[in-house]
Amino acid sequence: MNEPGLGGSFWPSERQKLLLLSATAGGEAGADAWQRLRPQLDLDRLELGSFAMLPLVHRQLERLGIEDPEMARLGGIRRRTWTLNQLELAAVMPALRSLEEPIVVGGWQFPAHYYGGDFGLRPVEGLEVLVCPGPAASSAVGGLTHVTAPNGRTIAIRERFARDFSVPEREIEPDTIAISLGETEVRALAPTDELLRVCLAGARASEPPNVVWLADALAVLRNPIDWDRLVRHALRLRAMLRLRDTLVYLRRELDASVPDEAIRELEAHPPLRREALAHRKAGRSARVVAPRFLHLTADRSLPAAVVALPTFLRDELGLKRRAQVPLEIVRRVALRMRATRPTVEAR
């Protein structure tokens, strides 16, 4: 959904806003949001990306003492989320323990720490970690690789803080905290850096659509935030536009406590032309290649950017040589066309 004054078509619908407020706002604000939402709420007909909010809604209604015929069903969804998370966590922990000093960024940090250790409040799938680049660092743009653990689980390993924005010369040194996943102590991003990460990862078009990242951001905002550090990191990454839009939305629509000075400081640094174009494209298309290329080459001349394109595509496609790029593109287009071709039934 488009949001007045903000770029992108991915913002929550009016009903999703009420769902978010019902899940996160306290006192009269939360009760009022639920009363406004309830007549138009059908748990069997939610917009894509909304279902993950229901355990948080159940917790909030419990806190507010609201009785509703759907409470039993919402409680069942919360218990099911807890059970599935426990099974998933048991499956990914061996892979997590096999890594050297990983920082958990794929979602487990939210139920484990930012939602008070309640694993029924936020569904998580898979394992995604941030690691410091080593001598054998990946050449892929954004430093994203996938490896298969001995038990068959796939781990997403990031070597850059923010895939859409990070390049080696702009990389930031993350601040971390210790959290507990079951009996294991692991590292997660400290609140300021987590807020930046969740805003940059969430405030863009995605498939399927996702609104739980806004609830995650609100959960992180309940912790002390170093706003100077947040803005400084965003400027280093050249991520001013995305962070500014997110902070404005959180404050304007979800009543988050965001200081004016932080927004003014982000607005005081105008983007380069291709950075602004990348921001618009990322807000309307779930495909990440074009916006990332525009952003990462924004400070180069157009001829220099064109020269860099084959190397960018080589790394993006996970190839060894630039000469392989054309054939790989043709192969992927053919596979996509084959996947979308209507099936003709045999007669």
Per-residue pLDDT tens digits for 267-308:
999 999 999 998 999 888 877 778 888 888 888 898 988 888
Distance (Å, whole) CA 193 – CA 158: 15
Average pLDDT, the chain: 89
For the beta sheet containing 103-104, the strands, ordered from the edge strand earlier in sequence to the opposite edge, are 144-148, 154-158, 127-130, 103-104, 184-189, 176-181
**Rg of the chain on CA atoms, in Å:** 21
Closest CA to 38 of 14, 65, 19, 58: 19
Conformation bin of residue 314: beta by default, left when phi > 0, alpha when psi is -120 to 50: alpha
**What tens digit of pLDDT does each residue of 123-161 get?**
999 999 998 765 444 444 446 787 777 677 788 898 889
The position carrying tokens 């916006």 is 291
Q: Which of 111-125, 196-210, 333-347 has the lowest mean pLDDT?
A: 333-347
Question: What pLDDT, in 10s, does the model give residues 188-206?
Answer: 999 999 999 999 999 998 8
Query: CA angle, corner 189, sides to 186 and 195, nearest 5?
Result: 145
CA distance 93 to 99: 10
